[in-house]
Structure formats: structure tokens, C-alpha cells
Amino acid sequence: MSEELTYAEVAKHASKKDLWLVIHDKVYNCTSFVDEHPGGEEVLLDVGGQDATEAFEDVGHSDEAREILDGLLVGDVKRAPGDPAPKSGATDKIAAGPGGRSDSGPGLGIAMYAVVLVGAAFAYFGYTYMQSQENK
């Protein structure tokens, strides 16, 4: 038998001493696990009282991690209209880490080429201008 909890109810449990997470529409009480989490307490606190489905899945947690989840189950979440959609939370920061930064790499590369080209063009025209002045 599992309890049905509203989103508003889950949102009340967002502190380190009382931490619930929603993953795949199920509510987990992670209070006892915060200190043991191999990924650190910070990421769990970031998504405390919220939907952590995306954050949890983005990391690609092992089956072992999923077994731990089973032991923390409190109940099912009952979504009401206007409840927040699943969000990625802390994973944004992780995605923007070494892997995420490479995404902006190609864009920056093109910008760098443009700067070099424009610089070279200025240098060329400046040089020819000075030459023409000298020849006067």
C-alpha cells in the first residue's frame, strides 16, 4: 500500500533534516541517505521537495542506486494542475561542467576565426593605406 501525496505536501520536505524527492512520480524520503550519497549532499538538497527525475536520470545512476531508492519510498505523487513539471535542477550545473562546455566550443571557434579574419583585414588595409600615404 502506498500513500498518495500532493506536490504541495512534498514541497514541505526540502531541508537536510527532512528531505523528500520525486522521481518518476514516486516520493522518496532521502533524509537518511543525504550524508551517504556518493554524488554529495549538495545535489540532493538542490532538488529537495521537488521533482528530481531528470537530475537523477541524467547522471545515469546504477541499478544499485535504484535499489536504494526502493528502500526510501514514501508513496506516489498526485499531480494537480499547475504543479511544476519535472525539472533537471542540479544536473544543469553538472551538464555545464566539462562535458557541457564543449557544446559551446564550436560556436566560440567560429567567433575566434571571425575576429582573426577581421583583424587581418584591418591590418592589411591599414598597411596599404600607410604605403599610399608614403608614396605621396
70 binds ligand HEM (CB under 6 A): no
CA angle 68, 73, 78 (to 5 degrees): 140
* CA–centroid distance for 6 within its chain: 25
Q: Interface with ligand HEM includes 75 (CB under 6 A)?
A: no
The strand ranges marked E within 7-101 are 14-15, 18-23, 26-29, 73-78
Note whether 84 and 11 are within 8 A (CB): no
The reply on whether position 39 binds ligand HEM by CB under 6 A is: yes
Q: Does 11 bind ligand HEM (CB under 6 A)?
A: no
Q: Could you tell me the smallest distance in angstroms from the CB atom of residue 19 to ligand HEM?
A: 9
Least CB distance to ligand HEM at residue 23 (A): 6
Total Cβ atoms within 10 A of residue 118: 10
Query: Residue numbers of the site for ligand HEM (CB under 6 A)?
Result: 21, 28, 30, 33, 37-39, 43-44, 47, 52, 55-56, 59, 61-62, 64-65, 68-69, 72, 90-91, 94
